[in-house]
Amino acid sequence: MQNTNHISAKKSLGQNFLKSKTALLAMIKAGEINSNDRVLEIGPGQGALTEKILETGAKVIAVEKDDRLIDLLNEKFASEIKNSQFSLIHGDILELNLEKLGFKTVDYKLIANIPYYITGLIFRKFLSGSIQPKKLVIMVQKEIADRIIARDLKESLLSLSVKAYGTAKKVMKVEKENFSPAPKVDSAILLVDNISKDFFKEISEEKFFEVIKTGFAHKRKMLIANLKEKFGKNDLQKIFQELKIPEKARSEDLKLEDWKELIKKLI
């Protein structure tokens, strides 16, 4: 293996390379990656995670934005490239056309130790986008993982917009010392499993996001007051009574299924 130490980490690309073998293997295990899988990896960096995915026998397509890493990766995985187990794309994941590359909904797994500044955009592209992965295993800031799983039992725009597409689980905390260079915050591995758009059989995605965004618009206000702004033509008190939602409820108190029932009644 080539010595890669001379490549200095670019902060602008969120480069914090993962050193912990335990964390790398935990990502593989969480994704239940095996030789039948096709895996899309975002930001292979110096290839630490790529190497572990390839060891399972899975086919890997990795997208790396930093041109300085392309030669290094091509060299490191020359034999896997040659036998078509691995292909490397030099580009920006946010601009990648999944359809053109032959990806189909839930026929691949997404695994990524991503730059944190694009976490939200990754969720949008891969969960609300039309070509969803079967499973998504992603390193995120620990606080973000806790918010998504609603550790404090309080839902948020973020938790609802992930849970509407799959079941979210915090796999393990990864302390900052496990990265080089160490970021300022601790991280966590997040798994989103059972990904689908089944939740949107009875309500549209558009209306779901419109209602939850309205519901969370003003944190200090009660949900009913927030909803009045856009959905005032409804008899909100009556709807809340029918759904057994306390009149004083706050948006964070409602679970995903409560939102669905509420949205079904709103015009």
Q: Are the C-beta atoms of residues 175 and 186 closer than 8 Å to each other?
A: yes
Closer by beta carbon to ligand SAM, 20 or else 85:
20
Q: Write the interaction track for ligand SAM spanning residues 80-109; mark x where CB under 6 A is met and - where it is not.
A: ------------xxx---------------
Question: Please, what is the minimum distance in Å from the beta carbon of residue 229 to ligand SAM?
Answer: 36
User: Does residue 161 touch ligand SAM according to CB under 6 A?
Assistant: no
Rounded Cα gap, residues 135 and 218, in angstroms? 33
Closer by beta carbon to ligand SAM, 45 or else 215:
45
In angstroms, the first-to-last Cα distance of the chain is 61
Cα angle: 43, vertex 47, 52; to 5 degrees: 110
User: Does residue 17 touch ligand SAM according to CB under 6 A?
Assistant: yes
Q: Are the C-beta atoms of residues 63 and 39 closer than 8 Å to each other?
A: no
From 58-66, 146-154, 169-177, 236-244, give the range in contact with ligand SAM by CB under 6 A. Answer: 58-66
Rounded Cα gap, residues 167 and 70, in angstroms? 34
Selected from 18, 136, 148, 254, the binder of ligand SAM by CB under 6 A is 18
Question: Please, what is the minimum distance in Å from the beta carbon of residue 12 to ligand SAM?
Answer: 9
User: Does residue 225 touch ligand SAM according to CB under 6 A?
Assistant: no
Q: Write the interaction track for ligand SAM spanning residues 118-147; mark x where CB under 6 A is met and - where it is not.
A: x-----------------------------
Rounded Cα gap, residues 45 and 60, in angstroms? 14
Rounded Cα gap, residues 246 and 244, in angstroms? 6
Q: Are the C-beta atoms of residues 91 and 13 closer than 8 Å to each other?
A: no
Closer by beta carbon to ligand SAM, 70 or else 157:
70
Selected from 37, 66, 155, 252, the binder of ligand SAM by CB under 6 A is 66
Tokens representing 121 are: 């955009």
Rounded Cα gap, residues 160 and 208, in angstroms? 10
User: Does residue 113 touch ligand SAM according to CB under 6 A?
Assistant: yes
User: Does residue 37 touch ligand SAM according to CB under 6 A?
Assistant: no
User: Does residue 28 touch ligand SAM according to CB under 6 A?
Assistant: no
Closer by beta carbon to ligand SAM, 63 or else 190:
63
Rounded Cα gap, residues 218 and 7, in angstroms? 45
What SS3 class is residue 61? Answer: strand
Tokens representing 131 are: 């070509």
Site residues for ligand SAM per CB under 6 A: 13-18, 42-45, 48-49, 63-66, 69, 92-94, 113-115, 118
